[in-house]
Amino acid sequence: MTLLRLAALVLAWLTLAGVARADDLRPGYLELTQTSPTAWKMVWKAPIRGGLATHAAPSLPAQCRSQPPSRDLIVGALVEVASFDCPRGLEGQTVGLTGLDATFTDALVRIAPLGRPVQVGRLTADRPLMEVRAAPDRLQVARTYLVLGVEHILAGYDHLLFVLSLVLLLRGGMRIAKTVTAFTLAHSLTLVATSLNLISLPRQPVEICIALSIVFLAVEIVKSRPEGPPRLSERAPWLVAFAFGLLHGFGFAGALAEIGMPEREVPTALLTFNIGVEIGQLIIVGAGLLVLELIRRYAPQHRRLFQRGAAYGIGVTAAYWCIVRILG
């Protein structure tokens, strides 16, 4: 029973964390936009959860002079907007955040000079500053968006729970792999199409439908019976995963739109972000299969109990998200 208790604790942590965070805990966001040869506009969005709003602050070169910022409190974040002048520009200078070492959340920085490509970077406690370059380095863009893709799938609990539900529902590593591949293909299509402004959907209905897709899989897990006829999600899991993957792709695109992409490196950013998402999904699948294999080997009589308990936890969490997103 020790293994079962451990699995239950992991599930409880995941469920409670998911209720608290869902897909809403995003990194901080610092945007610097050049408005004239010496003038810039700064937007600093600091999530309340994670400590950025109380500990972190933008760091500009000493030659820059900033006006007092205007502050506004939106849902879950503090937003500061300010203008500043840099007589010698920002090229070759370092910008970033102070106080990141006192938080547990990373931040993204987006620099948009006049007439030059946008540069995007990721700031961490170990690397709170970055150098502004004349043009973004392709390797830097690839590394940044690869990490963002991994983090988004692992920290975006709605996408995580959807993939985990597929692992709980299906049997056989190859069948799960094919189904997750269909999910990846679908969300890649809508992510690319939305990022290139070919299609778009309002964000709130998409987020509601994403939560409903998780509720659907949770119900399928509970109602599935080894001795009974296979349900739709078991007969054609790739079709279900592909259909819902199209919706999840809009969710990925919404997160990527908030981050922004360097103008001349859009293909690199999209490709590496997708690869990062896929790596994150493989981590989820591997962890889920490992837990199920341990239960099958050491407590096979509790496998079905664990699956049903996990399904109820996932379903309740997703239903809560659905209600919150409808009311929001």
| DSSP-H helix ranges across 22-75 | 52-55
Amino acid letter, residue 61: P
211 lies in the same domain as 187: yes
AA identity, residue 134: A
pLDDT in tens, 262-304: 666 778 888 888 899 889 988 999 999 999 889 888 888 888 8
The answer on 113 and 195 residing in a single domain is no
Q: Which residues, in sequence order, are CB contacts of 295 under 8 Å at separation 6+?
A: 3, 4, 7, 302, 303, 306
- Same domain for 264 and 178, yes or no, is yes
Residues 182 and 236 in one domain: yes
β-strand pairing of 94-98 with 129-131 = antiparallel
Instruction: Indicate the helix (H) or strand (E) that contains 84.
Output: strand 77-85
Contact at 8 Å (CB) between 150 and 275?
A: no
Q: Are residues 304 and 178 in the same domain?
A: yes
- Tens-binned pLDDT, residue by residue, of the chain (328 aa): 444 444 444 444 444 444 444 444 467 889 899 999 999 999 998 887 777 888 889 999 999 998 888 988 876 778 999 999 999 888 889 999 998 888 777 888 888 888 777 777 888 888 899 988 766 667 777 888 888 888 878 877 888 899 999 999 888 778 888 898 899 899 999 988 988 888 888 888 999 999 999 999 999 999 887 776 777 788 888 999 999 999 999 888 877 776 666 666 778 888 888 899 889 988 999 999 999 889 888 888 888 889 889 999 999 999 999 999 898 6
Domain of residue 302 covers 2-24+156-327
- For residue 164, being part of any structural domain is answered with yes
251 and 290 in a single domain? The answer is yes
- CA 185 – CA 192 distance, rounded (Å): 11
Q: Is residue 65 part of a domain?
A: yes
**SS3 state of residue 273:** helix
- Flag whether 141 is in a domain: no
Total domains in the fold of the chain: 2
Is 322 in the same domain as 173? yes
Nearest to 241 by CA among 315, 162, 152: 162
Q: Identify the CA nearest to 207 among candidates 251, 166, 256, 142.
A: 251
What stretches of the chain show up as alpha helix (H) in DSSP? Answer: 2-21, 52-55, 138-155, 157-169, 173-195, 203-223, 232-235, 237-259, 266-298, 303-327
Q: Position 294: which residue type?
A: L
> Which H or E run contains 123?
strand 119-123
Q: Has residue 128 been placed in a domain? A: yes
Residues 56 and 126 placed together within one structural domain of the fold: yes
Are residues 302 and 284 part of one domain? yes
Does residue 187 belong to any structural domain of this protein? yes
Q: Could you give the 3-state DSSP secondary structure of residue 90?
A: coil
CB 174 within 8 A of CB 155: no
**Residue 142, in any domain of the structure:** no
Pair 179, 104 in one domain = no
Q: How many C-alpha atoms does 54 have within 13 Å on its Cβ side?
A: 8
